[in-house]
Structure 1
Amino acid sequence: MTIARETEAAIKGDMVRGDYDINRNNRKVPTLKQVWERYLPWAKEHKKSWIDDLRYYRKHLEPRFGNKKLDEISTLDIERVKLDLKRGTNRRGKPYAPATIKHQLVILRRLYNLARKWDMYDGKSPLESVTMPKLDNLQTEFLTNDQLTRLLEVLEKWPFRDSVAFIKFALFTGLRRGELFKLTWDDIDFERSLVRLRDPKGGKAENIPVSPEALGVLRDLEVTSSYVFPGKDGKQRTNFNGPWSRIRKAAGLPDNFRFHGLRHHFASTLVRAGYDLLVVQKLLTHKDSKTTQRYAHLSPSALKKAAQQSGKLLTPDSESKKFSQSG
């Protein structure tokens, strides 16, 4: 009896010290799909780009890892995903961009982190040993005069006027695609030539001035919804990939010219015309001036003009000379 009690006491001591991790071993490790099912409602509330996460998960992550437990997914498994995507092509037959590959890894990393935060999992993440693809985030796109002319000619004849208006308004304002999706008629101030951006990327709501040409695009639209550019059944639009792809092809633009390139073209045009980078920063609603600095190389004329004027500005004029001599 004494031996039994001593053994029981020893086992209890080992459990306290963690030598017998009975509770942990009995704890069920969730599958990636189980974490995803909890993640999706959270993402809809906290992420503007949740629809992209859903698309990528269903296409790339669920088929590979959906039924695997979190502790069954290895670093090697993830490296294989990276390699497969590098060798693979998208539905347009083009290689996957580094940003697309990185997005898969970011989603996985977030699922592991949230699983631990939500006390669903207390193991290691295989992403800790994975190197993320490096991206060139300073890519700056703009249209040549010929490309812009062809685009406008195609838009002039394009039968779907809502798509035409969407592209023209983006071209004339430099607004992000997501900002256009959320735009309502209540956000348009025709009298003061202002557009209110609700919850723009990285900041609070604000009003930005727009050109008469931009407002002219909106005046020609038929109001069918509270949204300026509505989607199906008058609801908020969530995608413009199809129309943009067809119009881009009809205009003979490069296959890799993104819709976001219209925003770059807007900014590049202003900078090349000599407008101050701070002005462009405000119109683009960049929170960090470093983001706008990518356009600095496009304004050599402004730099040259400033250099030429610097001599005069730094030389006292005749009146100043008289004043200094009399003093």
Structure 2
Amino acid sequence: VGWESEGVDADQARDVRGEILVNIRTAEGFQSLKEKRDLDNTRKEQARIKKELAKREDVSFGALAQEYLKWAKDAKKSFKDDESNYRNHLAPLLAKKVAREIGILDIERIKKTLSNKKVGTKVKRPLSPATVKHFIVLTRQIFNYAITRKLFIGVNPVSETLKSRKGFIKGTNNKRTRFLSREETQPLLNTIKETSLQTYHICLVSLYTGCRMGEV
């Protein structure tokens, strides 16, 4: 039944023995101490699973995102970008929402909100379609990671949105490949400096060292 140090006394042991004898006579329930222990363990495991499922059902998107970022820190070169994009743009919109309650309408609203969002320190400019697309893709990646790791029970709302809304995140490509002349460089740096001093310093380092954006 158990040890005295575990709080089991003689009366409890006698009661369990009585239950076993009754069960043997009626051919019902556990009929040995081993069967009782197995039954107790099964019930505990069922209770644990039930609690775990309830926890997954009520998990917030923010909790899923944190798990994704923990993984991305060691697995992705773009971790810093993912972390910054989530913290500055997605977290204010999604972090506190229960993940299973996020649906197609929510994803559409998020895209609209991000498309209307203006960023910049001095000169405020709207986020580009390609940047908004990147944020939506990051949201989908977080859901996919959570589903794959069984942290979340449900469907990926971004994937569902893409199925029902063709061209939903068809953004333009921001990527440009071009070499600037010396005459073009300074006006560009001046404009960048007005928008973001940090970006200005990054551009200076890149210009003089040849480092790529992710290497600075």
Q: TM-score range by the shorter chain?
A: 0.5 to 0.7
Match of 1:296 in 2: none
**Which AA in structure 2 matches 1:34?**
A
The whole-number CA distance in structure 2 between the counterparts of 1:161 and 1:36 is: 30
Following superposition of structure 1 onto structure 2, how do residues 78-89 of structure 1 map, counting pairs within 5 Å?
Answer: 78-89=107-118
1:58 to partner: Cα distance: 1.5
**Which AA in structure 2 matches 1:134?**
K
1:108 to partner: Cα distance: 1.2
* 2:130–2:173 contact (8 Å) kept in structure 1: no
Q: Which has the higher contact order (CA 8 A, sep 6+)?
A: 2
Q: C-alpha deviations, 1:214-240, integer Å up to 9, x for none?
A: xxxxxxxxxxxxxxxxxxxxxxx4xxx
1:87 to partner: Cα distance: 2.0
* 2:100–2:153 contact (8 Å) kept in structure 1: no
Match of 2:155 in 1: 124
3-state DSSP of counterpart to 2:125:
coil
Match of 1:133 in 2: 169
The whole-number CA distance in structure 1 between the counterparts of 2:133 and 2:83 is: 15
1:88 to partner: Cα distance: 2.3
Inter-CA distance 150–136: structure 2 relative to 1 (3 Å threshold)? closer
The whole-number CA distance in structure 2 between the counterparts of 1:62 and 1:138 is: 24
The whole-number CA distance in structure 1 between the counterparts of 2:201 and 2:213 is: 17
The whole-number CA distance in structure 1 between the counterparts of 2:125 and 2:155 is: 35
Match of 1:36 in 2: 65
Match of 2:183 in 1: 149
Give the CA RMSD over aligned residues.
3.4
3-state DSSP of counterpart to 2:126:
coil
Query: Which of the two has greater helix per residue?
Result: 2
**Which AA in structure 2 matches 1:87?**
N
Match of 2:207 in 1: 167
Runs of 4+ with deviation above 4 angstroms:
22-26, 152-155, 160-165
The whole-number CA distance in structure 2 between the counterparts of 1:85 and 1:162 is: 25
Kindly tell me the number of residue pairs found equivalent between the two proteins.
150
1:66 maps onto 2:78 in alignment: no
Q: C-alpha deviations, 1:83-142, integer Å up to 9, x for none?
A: 112222112411111121112211211111111111111211111232442233385453
Per the normalisation by structure 1, the TM-score is 0.40
1:24 to partner: Cα distance: 9.4
The whole-number CA distance in structure 2 between the counterparts of 1:26 and 1:153 is: 58
3-state DSSP of counterpart to 1:122:
coil
3-state DSSP of counterpart to 1:166:
helix
The whole-number CA distance in structure 2 between the counterparts of 1:162 and 1:102 is: 24
Inter-CA distance 163–100: structure 2 relative to 1 (3 Å threshold)? closer
1:169 to partner: Cα distance: 3.6
1:59 to partner: Cα distance: 1.9
The whole-number CA distance in structure 2 between the counterparts of 1:140 and 1:82 is: 24
Q: C-alpha deviations, 1:251-273, integer Å up to 9, x for none?
A: xxxxxxxxxxxxxxxxxxxxxxx
5+ residue gaps, structure 2: 1-27, 29-48, 163-167, 190-199
Per the normalisation by structure 2, the TM-score is 0.58
1:162 to partner: Cα distance: 9.3
Identity %: 29
3-state DSSP of counterpart to 2:171:
coil
| 177, 201, 215: which one aligns with 2:213 | 177
Following superposition of structure 1 onto structure 2, how do residues 237-248 of structure 1 map, counting pairs within 5 Å?
Answer: 237=216
Inter-CA distance 142–41: structure 2 relative to 1 (3 Å threshold)? same
3-state DSSP of counterpart to 2:83:
helix
Inter-CA distance 130–163: structure 2 relative to 1 (3 Å threshold)? closer
**Which AA in structure 2 matches 1:112?**
F
5+ residue gaps, structure 1: 6-21, 182-236, 238-327
